[in-house]
Amino acid sequence: MRISSIQKLRNNVEIYFEDGLKIKLDYRVVFDNGLRRNDDLDEEKVNSLLSQSEKLKIKDSAFRFLARRHHSSQEIFKKLLNKGYKKEDISAVLEKMKRDGFVDDLLFAKAFAEEKLTKKKLGLIKVKAELMKKGVDRRIIDAALSHADSSMMESNAVLLIEKKMKFLKGKESDEKKIKQKLFSFLYSKGFDSEIITSALNKLNIGGDENFDL
């Protein structure tokens, strides 16, 4: 198939062939392949050019997602799939981006954990669940959270209790009910019963009652 004309359209280029075929390519594909009028291309080459163009679009979309915030590879995959790209093309692009260091689930998980544990003061259970929901591998999650020990979790729980107590103050006088509400609150934030009990005892809240959720 011989190219009869090449027309520039903003970031794309339309390639017209003598047999009436017309294809649209990313301008970078045209430049990288040195396409010119009268070039003779076979079907395999045309398909290769279309594939290159499609993968550049996928890569551009992925970078736009990453420019807004950190993403796990699975988050990016789902968003690209929703844009109508083919699974095999998305996978190929993401694998290349991983090799080049642009997509890194461990770095994502560490940044996510830092935000949730240090700023939001959440518990490990909650953070693990949120990372799993974002498609991060369990081994990567464990590595990202390896620094979060029971002492850190207890400190987080204590801080949340102190904040919650300011809200409960004047609204509830029954110590047992206060402790139960605090226990439920901390459980919803991702702390296990052992950490919750330890934090409550540290602040001398509610006596010796234990709660099981």
pLDDT tens track for 6-17: 999 888 999 999
Residue with tokens 């081994």: 139
Give the model confidence (pLDDT) of 39-78 as tens digits.
999 999 999 999 999 999 999 999 999 999 999 999 999 9
Pair (115, 154) in one structural domain: no
Domains identified in the chain, total number: 3
Nearest Cα to Cα of residue 124 among 159, 158, 156, 162: 156
The pLDDT of residue 94 is 98
Pair (188, 129) in one structural domain: no
Pair (121, 198) in one structural domain: no
Pair (173, 114) in one structural domain: no
Pair (123, 197) in one structural domain: no
The pLDDT of residue 169 is 76
Weakest mean pLDDT among 19-23, 34-38, 131-135, 174-178: 174-178
User: Around 148, how many Cα atoms within 13 Å sit in the side-chain half-sphere?
Assistant: 27
Last residue of a domain, one of 67, 99, 131: 99
Helix or strand run (H / E) with residue 17: strand 12-17
DSSP category for residue 210? -
Q: Which residues contact 55 (CB under 8 A, 6 or more apart)?
A: 89, 92, 93
Please give the residue range of the domain that contains residue 131: 105-144
Residue with tokens 């290159």: 52
- State both tokens at 17: 């062939």
| Greater model confidence, 172 or 166 | 166
Pair (121, 35) in one structural domain: no
Pair (177, 138) in one structural domain: no
CATH of the domain at 21: 1.10.10.10
Pair (33, 79) in one structural domain: yes
Pair (115, 187) in one structural domain: no
CATH of the domain at 193: 1.10.10
213 pLDDT exceeds 60?
A: no
Last residue of a domain, one of 63, 80, 99: 99
Pair (92, 13) in one structural domain: yes
Q: Which residues contact 178 (CB under 8 A, 6 or more apart)?
A: 165, 168, 172, 205, 206
